[in-house]
Structure 1
Amino acid sequence: MSQMNEERNQTIGQELQEARLEKGLSLDDIQQVTKIQKRYLQAIENGQFDQLPGPFYERAFVRQYANAVGLDADSFIKDHAIETKDVAPDLEKAHVDADNVTRAGMRKEVPSTADRTKSLMPKVLIGAAIILIIGIIWALVASFAGATRSQNDSSSVSVTSSAVSEQKASSSAAKSSEDEAAKKASEEKKAADKDTIKLGPSQVTGNTVKYSGIELPQNKDTDMTLNATADVWTQITDVNGGVLYNGTLKAGANQVIKIPATSKGVTMQIGNANVLKVKLGQEDVKLDNNGTIVWNANLQFKR
């Protein structure tokens, strides 16, 4: 098959995506029908034919996709002049997973637990060093304050017993009031920090934006709010595979999804990312899709 130019690939992907959305189908539905791995379907929709396993698959995959969304596959292939060289498929790395989907190559290296632990070690050491420095400063300040108080006591003039008692009582009451105020302020600050959501930096790779260190409140469910200015299909899946939401959000509608306190992260698949706004609690989650319609978001939580 001769290599398609970028404009034609984009046109093919857009027409297939529009046909899928008109039928209210998700990429998971197309995968179930065609047995083509979902990331290849996403590559076709994005016009990224160079992400397919090889030239043999371009015509075959487009034909299967067109059939799955109710298009006349033969006419679609002919209209877009999709041709395939007489080559055999590269099945050297092909395998069939438990979900009965055939996958050819494009395996991703998954970092091991040891690698992740190693990458966290510098942060742990820096945190421990900061805590140690704060402890030393606090000890020096406390020691200086104690020495100053002792010097002031030794230089005080003699006063009557009743005056000393009155001064001690006043000092004790003032100190107690200060301690109560400080304790209350500390508790309020801890409570505010506990409920604060921090997104951290994002990283865009291909058609996915990743937030790898989102800080969420501990032992507490978190609301994710979706707002659409036009119709948009989306699916939100927990890292353990549970589907939290799957459907088409109508224009002007809001959808609130509860993120369980035990969740370590979610993955979003979005069919019309340009019209979708996402919030975690009160924090806006920027999708950084730069105009791309079909988009993914990978949100990983720290608790």
Structure 2
Amino acid sequence: MSIGNSPEDERPFEDGRSSDGHEEEARPSVGRALQQARIAAGLTVDDVSSATRVRIAIVHAIEADDFTPCGGDVYARGHIRTFAKAVHTDPAPLLARYDDDHGGRPAPTPAAPLFEAERIRPERRGPNWTAAMVAAIVAVVGFVGFTAFKGGDSDSDAASQVTQGATPSAGKPAAPKPSNTTATPKSDPSDSAIAAAPQDKVTVQVSAVDGRSWISAKDHNGRMLFDGLLKKGESKTFQDSSKVNLILGDAGVIQLYVNGKKIEDDFQPGAVERLTYTKGDPEVG
């Protein structure tokens, strides 16, 4: 089967009979229903891929009821919803059928097991007490030798010198305190910080605040700026001279700041959103 041919070349198999020769009355699978709706709408796989921005290989896999390439139940449900809208069919019964076949609505998956390797941190070492003790012993021996050599009155002079020498060293830790105090505040992201974005460009900040989500970002020429998974707590900032196009795999976990303004759209968990932002006041294209 060639990819992108006419819908007639991709008709579903006529397997409406069971092994005993009787016609099956069971409802079609999710993939078969989507395939039949696509053909009825006169669309090819290429047409669906272009309309949904879902890769052709994933469209073929969905029609074959193979949802593994989708990357999980949340993304599979988003692809089913987008696919159904593209072929002009109601996604609700298809999502219900998918949930029945896959054990119900997916529960949020913690990101930690998928990225366990990133949790490994170098073991923190304690202070080297052996070296400190050796240095202290050397200092004491040197001091005793010095006072024995000087003798008599020089003992008081040596003690005075040691006392005077100890005063600056005791005061040294206090000197860096002002610099530490000034370095303590952290520059956490805020509306005012993002508002400093250039006015002659469009600036979009994408933050995964409630979970992880696949995102894609392109500039006004269609050049890919980013295509990958954004983990919980991570942010990405994209900038272009005129326009930024976004696709959010799970828009419900995303917070957007566009040109210095927080976007208050009520995105639903698991929803795939396609957004376009330009210069000035944020406007969804």
Fold in common (TM above 0.5): no
Q: Rg: which structure is higher?
A: 2
Under a length normalisation based on structure 1, what TM-score does the superposition of the two structures give?
Answer: 0.37
Q: When you count strand as a share of all residues, which structure comes out higher?
A: 1
TM-score by length of 2: 0.39
